[in-house]
Amino acid sequence: MTKATKLLTVLAPDQRRHLMTLAREVSFPEDAPIFEAGGRADRFWVIRSGAVSLTQRVNHLQKVTVASLGSGDLLGWSWLFPPHTWDFGAEAFSQVRAHEFDAAEVLRLCEEDTQLGMALVRGVAEILAHRLELTRGRLMEYAAHHHRSL
């Protein structure tokens, strides 16, 4: 299994400082929806404190938590890839504080500083690989449990 990557730690200190000039402090109360699958993905967050659940609908009544995110974790990658819609839903499992980034501003910064852009894309790719493994495992567990209960 791939190891968990924290987005801000893959950036060189000067790249991290440059990116953080675009950060805005936000918070979400416990149980608040942050985004829904299919919604417009125009921002992302780096969690400072609290916990977020990533969810995937398996039918019109049920959703499965496919990942739990915490301090330092990236929340949202769909802003980077067309059609720029969320692949999962996200809910605050507890009170959450985060750095929020506007995708258009970050993409402009990446065009200006291509080394930062490449480091950011590599970091997101590492995170995606890890999350794909986690999601696949959770969905397999769900399917096995659901199959046994039939």
Residue pair 97/49 in contact (Cβ under 8 Å)? The answer is yes
What's the pTM value of the predicted model, to 2 decimals?
Answer: 0.86
pLDDT in tens, 11-66: 999 999 999 999 999 999 999 999 999 999 999 999 999 999 998 887 888 888 88
Are the beta carbons of 52 and 37 closer than 8 angstroms? no
14 three-state secondary structure: helix
Tokens found for residue 145: 């449990």
